[in-house]
Amino acid sequence: MPAMDASTPFANTKIVRTAFADCRAPDAVAQIAMALGPEPLALVIFFVSPATDLTNFAAQTQKAFPETDVIGCTTAGELGAAGYTEGEIVAIGLPAAHFAAKTLCIKDLGDLRAQERIRAMIQNRNALAADHPDWTSEFAFLMVDGLSTREDALTAELALGLGPVPLFGGSAGDGESFSTTHILHDSAFHTNAAVLVQLRSNCPVQVFKTDHLNPTEQRMVVTAANPTRRLVHEINAEPAAREYARILGKDPEQLSTFTFAAHPVVVRIGDQTHVRAIQRVADNGDLVFFSAIDEGVVLTLAEPEDMVAHLDRELSTLAAQRTPDMILGCDCLLRRVEATQKQVTTEISRVLAKHKVVGFSTYGEQINSMHVNQTFTGVAIYPPEDG
């Protein structure tokens, strides 16, 4: 789907500002700055195609938004004005009249400073509350290097500092190359990094997650694994890829991203199931996962519902009482792969546009203290009650 010009109007959002530009346009940031308008912004979030000239882009953001916090990441595809798109820069501007934000950049995900980060998060939350005591809505948004393998540990750590504040987020992408992903903060792109933004608003918000996968009765046990590298060596005491293929009735040599998207596995934690998506088959027959995996974990094969009907139903639920001004969404790359395989990308795009969803396709998603896959996470932002 082609990128849209930054001047393209977006679904009549009245609170949140949105803008879109072709990533190849030399003046893309200038286009976006003009489309976002002169209203003071508390935060600008960019979702940037990996085809963008990142160094030039970062320099332009510093010139265009010298007084505004700017964050962002590279993508595995964008969610733009008309749904799924590629080769685009998507921007979201949160007006200072309705939002206040504090950002925390983690520039080395291997540097364990849990107590220092938790202390900073508590201070940020207290400062936001002190500055805007009459604003009662809070949420946190996380973008993290999607190839770092640190998302699970990071989200668990951050949850300790957030307390009751809901968190959602997405892992930065690199198209389908899985080479290098980038996080934007302070007019520079970083690898092995993450950025957390804590927000307070007078707009009601609802953080959510959804997937269209139903567990079956088919279970398997991880009997040998390397959790640090997210590798599964054996399932049911058999070589992992071969056993997974046997359960599906497929040739292990034919396993592909399409197979993994169509036949995901889930784990049960408490009364909920969470997807543990397979990224690829290693040369030695191991299965490489997108998220945490360990020996003894029971994996359950899941089967998908009709993803178009399911997504429309779930997003409609968010509008049951009031219509959101917009929805900021993080949609797993594997959902996009499945939509492509099933030839429903046009229908999915219509649903996303209908519900005013803007965001990006990810290498993984975060919800509260969990890192998940093949899931859609986001926040619905509603007009103020007195608006």
What pLDDT tens digit does each residue of the chain (387 aa) get? 444 444 444 545 789 999 999 999 999 999 999 999 999 999 999 999 999 999 999 999 999 999 999 999 999 999 999 999 999 999 999 999 999 999 999 999 988 788 999 999 999 999 999 999 999 999 999 999 999 999 999 999 999 999 999 999 999 999 999 999 999 999 999 999 999 999 999 999 999 999 999 999 999 999 999 998 999 999 999 999 999 999 999 999 999 988 998 899 999 887 788 888 898 999 999 999 988 899 999 999 999 999 999 999 999 999 999 999 999 999 999 999 999 999 999 999 999 999 999 999 999 999 999 999 999 999 999 999 875
**Residue 54 in contact with residue 74, Cβ under 8 Å?**
yes
CA distance 261 to 292: 17
The DSSP bridge pattern shows strands 167-171 and 272-275 to be unpaired
Indicate left, alpha or beta for 153 from its phi (over 0: left) and psi (-120 to 50: alpha).
alpha
Task: Report the b/e string of 113-147 with b at 16+ CB within 10 A.
Answer: eeeebbebbeebbeebeeeeeebebbbbbbbbbbb
Question: Which residue has 């939002």 as its token pair?
Answer: 99
Distances (CA, A) of 297 to 163, 232, 294, 320: 28, 10, 6, 37
The DSSP bridge pattern shows strands 88-95 and 41-48 to be antiparallel
**Residue 83 in contact with residue 331, Cβ under 8 Å?**
no
Residue 71, token pair as written in the block: 């964050």
Calculated CA dihedral for residues 58, 64, 65, 67, nearest 10 degrees: 120
**Residue 334 in contact with residue 137, Cβ under 8 Å?**
no
Return contacts of 268-274, CB within 8 angstroms, 24+ apart: 268/215, 268/298, 268/300, 269/370, 273/213, 273/215, 273/300, 273/302, 274/370, 274/372, 274/375
